[in-house]
Amino acid sequence: MTPVTPSEAPGEVKEKIEAETAAASTVPASYSAGTFRPRIANLPSLPEAHRTVPFRSGASWIRKILAFAGPGYLVAVGYMDPGNWATDIQGGSKFGYTLLSVIVASSLMAMFLQALSAKLGIATGRDLAQACRDHYSKRTSMVLWVLCEIAIAACDLAEVLGSAVALKLLFGLPLLAGVLITALDVLIVLALQGRGFRLIEAFVVTLIVSIAACFAYEIFFAQPLWREAAQGLIPRAEIFRNREMLYIAIGILGATVMPHNLYLHSSIVQTRAFGVSVGDRREALRYAVFDSTLALSFALFVNAAILILGAAAFHTRGLHNVAEIADAYKLLSPVLGVSLASTVFACALLASGQNSTLTGTLAGQIVMEGFLNIRLKPWVRRLITRALAITPAVLVIGIAGEGKVTSLIVLSQVVLSFQLPFAIIPLIQFTGDRSKMGTLVNSPVTKIIAWAVAAVILFFNGELVWFIFRG
């Protein structure tokens, strides 16, 4: 089949993809377009950016890598958002390097699930929200949409609070004022998206590099015990015997896979103008998986660096109860003897919060458009998402005071845990269905691994919720 050029209409491209998927499937001919119901409106995912980044099959491998570089980094920011920081710091300060193995294992599972998300978008021409809407009943789709919107608001809440805490640490602003200021990042998203999707990706990558540089600076002065850190990469039975250690390990694992990232990734891989033949889509999938795996390796480095910093700066000095981000900020400079250590830490936190809110609002747009098949103006969608995140933060801080911020962040992580099955299970179901995926369907081995990963993540997320409610 002749590859599709970027100038072709999105509707024609999607019809070709669906026709080929159906042709490659072994289901009866009566099933149309890979057994997905026909769309009400033949609009692609994220239409303003759909197939806007050129990808030439005959280009050199380095040009192909660069063409696909970007979507994985937008996904990666969800794995280094402020919601993970307190858990990583607490794990490092209390148990040293022991829980590094949990960070590595959870990151590997995240890489696997994000690869499935990219596969769904490339193979079917649908994002996960569209696939759910076209497969399930209207009632089920509405339930899934509401649950996903709640999860996005919960995730955005942790990111807003993280940015507000960073503004307080850096400039002494009250948390309430910091929360309100974070609403202005809507303008950043609108300004960047109006100038092309590549600019959004470049902005995100810049912030990720800044976060990594900040932690490289901190670790240089913290002088970790690298031999002990290497031993921490080996899983230990002690993690399961020690109840407190298990609780923190579950917290690390429970925050690994963000539900909205699975929706986001399946959409933004379609910003690349790859061909629709089976060979072209296999090639696109290889480069998409390489991009997301490399990007999530950066997220692994950041999360591991936070835990290593907690171990090197606090645990080895007998400070075993540093659980709050603000406490870590206050202690870093005096403990390390470097005046800029605390400031650099807060700058990394601010960059993390801003990065995560940017991709969170983008995911919100994809989810609403995919499930409801409606299109809102970007600024309307951004305002809705930001209002849903800011309102509970303003109410809690205004009524209960700033001391309840950590409790609010914990609550947001519990909400995410509840929603996770409703994103993972449809993703594995769709990518394992030959009638939907054609020749790009998951192999039997991949299916076994996928359901095993899902079982592990869902079990530990359930344990996290159980631990929290038991106090």
Residue 24: per-residue pLDDT = 37
Residue 149: per-residue pLDDT = 84
Cβ contact 239:34 at 8 Å: no
Whole-model pTM?
A: 0.85
> CA-to-CA distance for 430 and 132, rounded, in angstroms?
9
Mean pLDDT of 421-441: 93
The answer, yes or no, to whether residue 471 has pLDDT greater than 80, is no
> CA-to-CA distance for 19 and 85, rounded, in angstroms?
46
Residue 37 CB neighbour total at 10 angstroms: 11
Read off the pLDDT band of 161 (50, 70, 90).
confident
Give me the percent of the chain exceeding a pLDDT of 90.
Answer: 36
φ/ψ of 121, rounded to 5, equals -65, -40
Which of the two residues, 249 and 324, has the higher pLDDT score?
249
Q: pLDDT tens for residues 187-213?
A: 666 677 667 788 888 888 998 999 999
CATH number for 60-470 (one of 1.10.1740.10, 1.10.540.10, 3.40.50.2000, 1.20.1740.10): it is 1.20.1740.10
Residue 385: per-residue pLDDT = 66
Mean pLDDT of 223-245: 88
The answer, yes or no, to whether residue 15 has pLDDT greater than 80, is no
The answer, yes or no, to whether residue 37 has pLDDT greater than 70, is no
φ/ψ of 181, rounded to 5, equals -65, -35
Residue 416: per-residue pLDDT = 75
Mean pLDDT of 401-405: 66
Mean pLDDT of 351-379: 81
Mean pLDDT of 2-6: 44
φ/ψ of 26, rounded to 5, equals -105, 15
Distances from the Cα of 317 to the Cα of 93, 221, 300, 331, angstroms: 9, 14, 25, 11
The answer, yes or no, to whether residue 44 has pLDDT greater than 80, is yes
Read off the pLDDT band of 29 (50, 70, 90).
very low
Mean pLDDT of 271-297: 93
Residue 268: per-residue pLDDT = 94
Residue 40: per-residue pLDDT = 47
> CA-to-CA distance for 189 and 237, rounded, in angstroms?
45
Q: pLDDT tens for residues 104-145?
A: 998 999 999 999 999 999 999 999 999 999 999 999 999 999
The answer, yes or no, to whether residue 318 has pLDDT greater than 60, is yes
Give me the percent of the chain exceeding a pLDDT of 70.
Answer: 83
What is the end-to-end Cα distance of the chain in Å, rounded? Answer: 59
Residue 23: per-residue pLDDT = 41
Which of the two residues, 256 and 20, has the higher pLDDT score?
256
In the predicted model, what is the mean pLDDT of the chain? Answer: 82
Residue 468: per-residue pLDDT = 67
> CA-to-CA distance for 239 and 236, rounded, in angstroms?
6
